[in-house]
Copies of this chain bind each other. A is one copy, B any other.
């Protein structure tokens, strides 16, 4: 059951055509719920962007949004209508949902009434060539090998944005960057950090060809991470939560560093350890 109506003018002054969705049985709603699963995301090459802040950052970076699902009774702020008008003016279809419908498609406990559907964007190592050609300072890259937890990947994106990283290279990915919890933990910085997807084999070959040093953190290193020169062309490599970097990366690392551990634990959370290394580059390159 779907009814159509011409919506009242939005606060932004635009006349946006809105379709109304009031039934959770609607096939469109069922398809949206499926986008929480990677298989459906991969099949459709789309993903969900939930939340005002996340959608705002996507539009700030001119990221295309195909559909926008809204629920006005759930809005938390005052600028939602401006954002809706902006997304609508770029060609997105707007769907006004009942609260029941919206809560069905939302993956948050406290939804804020805004969910977009956007095409996935996949960058490769040849895109990275173009990115680095435009740069005048030494390359500053991060390689994340097989990170499992979406929250960690999102936090790594957030820190990558904060240090102005050239690109994040994701190798042998376990969690795809379009997982709703990655989008969420990244707080929308997914749209500002170029993410290259490839295999460890290809990434290692590319880094070697471009003479970019690989830095790996390991408890067995002699030097602390604040004691090596990070002003050179650099790719920091980090591995899985459980096992750290794989042998193939560890063996090819040009620099090995340790993060001092003064307590009972032998490792930090992978996202916090990554952030320490990223900010050390920033400190040294100032």
- Show the binding face of A for B, using Cβ within 8 Å: 57, 60-61, 151, 155, 158-164, 185, 187-189, 191-193, 226, 259-265, 268-269, 271-272, 275-276, 279, 282-283
Q: Is A265 within 8 A of B164, CB to CB? A: no
* 8 Å CB contact of A162 from B191, B192, B263: B263
* 8 Å CB contact of A276 from B260, B262, B275: B275
Minimum distance in angstroms from A150 CB to a CB of chain B: 12
**Cβ contacts under 8 Å, A191 to chain B:** 264
Q: Is A193 within 8 A of B262, CB to CB? A: no
Copies in the complex: 2
**Cβ contacts under 8 Å, A189 to chain B:** 263-265
**Cβ contacts under 8 Å, A269 to chain B:** 155, 158-159, 185, 271
* Inter-chain pairs besides A158-B268, A188-B265, A262-B282, 11 sampled, C-beta below 8 Å: A60-B264, A158-B265, A160-B263, A161-B264, A162-B260, A187-B265, A260-B282, A268-B275, A272-B272, A272-B275, A276-B279
Q: Is A262 within 8 A of B159, CB to CB? A: no
Identify the closest chain B residue to A57 (Cβ): B264
In this complex, the member of A164, A260, A272 whose beta carbon has the largest number of chain B beta carbons within 10 angstroms is A272
- Determine the distance from Cα of A278 to Cα of B268 in the docked complex, in whole angstroms: 13
Minimum distance in angstroms from A47 CB to a CB of chain B: 19
Identify the closest chain B residue to A191 (Cβ): B264
**Cβ contacts under 8 Å, A160 to chain B:** 263
